[in-house]
Amino acid sequence: MLDDILVEVSPKMYDNMGLSEDDVEPLKIQKFTEFLEREFPDNCQRNQPLGPFTSYRVGGPAAALMTPHTQEELERLVRLCRDKEIPWFVLGEGANILVHDHGYAGIAISLKQCCSRLFHQDGLLYAGAGVAVRDLVRYCEVHGLAGLDYMSGIPGTVGGALVMNAGAFVGEIGDRVVRIEALNESGQRVQLSREEARFGYRRADGLVGKLLLGCWIVVDPGDPAELSRAREAYLKRRAEKQPLEYPSCGSVFKRPPGDYAGRLIEAVGAKGLTVGGAKVSEKHANFIVNFNNASARDIYELICRVQEMVYRQFKVWLELEVRLIGFPPEDVQRVKGVQDGA
């Protein structure tokens, strides 16, 4: 049983085992992942490097990468993590995250298998949280479903798009969402309306702390040929404006009120600025690219430098759009900076 496995690394036994507090937590996670490997032999990859699973192509290993086959397995996994206070996060396609070079001392969860349903009926489209946005757009095109073609070229999964209220050019995904299926903070299945999701610019405050399973989206009848042309046009616009030839997370910073992050970054002369193998793109200043085998630390330090340069000149603190995974609290606080009164 899991309780029997973890009792041997209980803090009450520090002295008997000759362990310090710093030793106990890693040992607890190790024992937990060994348990997961036995319980989910086809779903568990221990000490799995996350770099290949992220759009930045950087980052160290997670204690385990889990790929549940069913939503029941997902629920059980999340319940185990919560009961034993083991940190976890949903990996998605790694399109909007920066993973620390030392990795993540917890469980990365992929929804590609357990939340992959995609179907439509009566003017509504259901998309699982693990469905890639590119597959969602293609499905709509093939089946003549209009309304989401502007999402062409947006990286990541439907779940990630919901959490960030992703969009481009003429709309955001939250504009068409009817309801969302999720696990709440207690691990119970819930359904949330668009209003309860509280969609805003690159945020959905009502979804914070929830594990998304899927959503229903309003779609309109469309001509597949016209949708194909629209998709190609959006992809062309992206290629003209964005440095797609290098690994990146897309836009690094959220748009500040009444302005654009890219304009501010360009105005302070940060285009082309480098730290190690990371560079502020000359093509789009709100992109930091991995142009020469960058480390996560290179990218992080360049983020901080850009924030500081913009703040010194404009007194605007750029808020991150990319999520930091596995970074210590002091690093997370540093990028929050003056927006939290620091």
236-278 confidence digits (pLDDT tens): 998 888 998 999 999 999 999 999 999 999 999 999 999 999 9
As annotated, the active-site residues are 202, 251, 321
Q: Give the three-class secondary structure for 162.
A: helix
pLDDT score, position 327? 97
Q: Are 62 and 30 in contact (CB under 8 A)?
A: no
Q: Is 182 exposed, middle or buried (0-12, 13-18, 19+ CB in 10 A)?
A: buried
Which single residue is written with the structure tokens 């009164």? 341
| Residues 146 and 140 sit within 8 Å (Cβ to Cβ) | yes
Spatial distance between the Cα atoms of 301 and 298, rounded to a whole number of angstroms = 5
pLDDT at 144 over 80: yes
Phi, psi of 134 (to 5 degrees): -60, -35
Given this model, what pLDDT does residue 24 score?
Answer: 63
- Taking the C-alpha atoms of residue 59 and residue 342, their distance in angstroms, rounded to an integer, is 28
The Cα 283–Cα 281 span in angstroms is 5
Domains belonging to the chain, first-starting first, are 2-109 (3.30.43.10), 118-240 (3.30.465.10), 243-340 (3.90.78.10)
- Is the pLDDT at 22 greater than 70, yes or no? no
Q: Are 146 and 161 in contact (CB under 8 A)?
A: no
Tens digits of residue pLDDT in 306-342: 999 999 999 999 999 999 999 999 999 999 986 655 4
Residue with tokens 């594990």: 211
DSSP 38: H
Band (pLDDT 50/70/90 cuts) for residue 16 is very low
Nearest to 303 by CA among 326, 328, 329, 334: 334
In sequence order, the 6+-apart residues with CB closer than 8 A to the CB of 315 are none
Strands 88-90 and 104-109: what pairing? parallel
pLDDT at 311: 97
Closest CA to 291 of 51, 58, 7: 58
Complete edge-to-edge strand list for the sheet that includes strand 274-275: 274-275, 278-280, 288-290
Contact 168, 130 (CB under 8 A): no
Kindly report the backbone phi and psi dihedral angles of residue 79, in degrees, each rounded to the nearest multiple of 5, phi listed first.
Answer: -65, -40
Q: What is the per-residue pLDDT for 230?
A: 93
pLDDT (mean) for 199-225: 95
Tell me the whole-structure pTM to 2 decimals: 0.89
Q: What pLDDT is attached to residue 7?
A: 40
Residue 170 has pLDDT above 90, yes or no: no
Tell me the per-residue pLDDT of 115-143, one tens digit each, with 9 for 90 and over: 999 999 999 999 999 999 999 999 999 99
| Rounded Cα–Cα distance for residues 179 and 227 (Å) | 25
Given this model, what pLDDT does residue 79 score? 94
pLDDT at 62 exceeding the cut of 90: yes
In whole numbers, what is the pLDDT of the chain averaged over residues?
A: 91
Average the pLDDT over 9-19 and give the result.
44
